[in-house]
Amino acid sequence: MLAHVPAGYAHYPKQAVPRGLIETTGARFKYYHIERAGEPVPAAVDALAQAALAEDPAFAFAGDHGFCLLHRCGADFYFLLPTVWRGANEAWEAVWYRHGDMPAFAPFDPAYPPASGPPRPAFCVWELGVVAHEALAWSRFLASPRGPADLAHWLEDRFAGEV
């Protein structure tokens, strides 16, 4: 018996879809959608996510490099997860969400039951497929001379496929 997996839960695959680069306030993000096959992120939601990254001062990650996931969770709930590399080898993440007809993405507060204390939510199994790839890609970059060609190679090193 697993305490936090309902007996009726049926797991299914999703797709990680690289969507290019987003540059905002000096930061560079490899941008991904996480979505179920046949249920892509709507263009209007994608536009809201990109606007949040470009316009909200909370995303002023000047000089940072990282990746950003826009995860479609069901019919109308989305996580926006910009993650930057800091401290040389640490992934620092912001968690934003949009639900239903919210006009914009907003910071996600996990301080609700059952997540009101430790441990806290982090990445889900679908997001971890991209996170694992990006961790290895950043490690390869760190082990390189870290010149402009190495950075360009890192920016092009993206994951696509089933997660």
Does residue 19 fall inside a structural domain?
yes
Query: Per the structure, how many domains does the chain have?
Result: 1
Does residue 101 fall inside a structural domain?
yes
**Residue 75, Cα to own-chain centre: how many angstroms?**
18
Does residue 7 fall inside a structural domain?
no
| pLDDT at residue 72 in the model | 98
Pairing of strands 106-107, 15-24: unpaired
Its domain, for residue 56, covers 15-162
Pairing of strands 65-73, 27-35: parallel
Q: How many CA atoms lie within 13 A of 25 on its CB side?
A: 14
Q: Where are the alpha helices (DSSP H) in the chain?
A: 43-55, 125-143, 148-156
Question: In order along the chain (163 residues), what is the average pLDDT of each group of 10 residues?
Answer: 87 97 88 97 97 84 92 96 94 94 90 61 93 98 98 98 97
Would you say the pTM of this structure is higher than 0.85? yes
| pLDDT at residue 128 in the model | 97
- CB atoms inside a 10 Å sphere around CB 7: 6
Does residue 52 fall inside a structural domain?
yes
| pLDDT at residue 141 in the model | 98
Does residue 4 fall inside a structural domain?
no
